[in-house]
Amino acid sequence: DGGITQSPKYLFRKEGQNVTLSCEQNLNHDAMYWYRQDPGQGLRLIYYSQIVNDFQKGDIAEGYSVSREKKESFPLTVTSAQKNPTAFYLCASSIGGVFNQPQHFGDGTRLSIL
């Protein structure tokens, strides 16, 4: 079955530590996205990538970094510069190429501070 796989499901970060969240898709989608979800605030866009080797900042990119070396993979690193990283992180993908195609989401990674 095609879909988006996020790992790990739960992640704990120590102070001053960088952590990387994995997102893999086998939908052959060009576009991929990272969102942060906090209670009562909906989903906010961190980074997005319309094509391999290219990505753009979303609305809350500070303290995060990404790479897009392969079409299937879009890992997100939460750096020590992100002072409030506790949240539910969601990865999504869409066909891309044209705007406003449905976005398909993974089941998220919940990040907490130790």
Partner 1 sequence: QQQVKQSPQSLIVQKGGISIINCAYENTAFDYFPWYQQFPGKGPALLIAIRPDVSEKKEGRFTISFNKSAKQFSLHIMDSQPGDSATYFCAASGNTGKLIFGQGTTLQVKP
Binding residues for partner 1, rule: CB under 8 A, are: 4, 6, 31, 40-45, 48, 50, 58, 90, 92, 94, 99-108
Taken as a whole, the chain contains a residue count of 114
Q: How many CB atoms lie within 10 A of CB 95?
A: 14
CB of 8 to partner 1, least distance (A): 13
CB of 56 to partner 1, least distance (A): 9
Nearer to partner 1, 63 or 96 (CB): 96
Nearer to partner 1, 11 or 45 (CB): 45
Phi, psi of 75 (to 5 degrees): -75, 145
What residues form DSSP beta bridges with 20?
77
Please answer whether residues 68 and 56 qualify as being in contact, where contact means their C-beta atoms are separated by less than 8 angstroms. Answer: no
CB of 84 to partner 1, least distance (A): 18
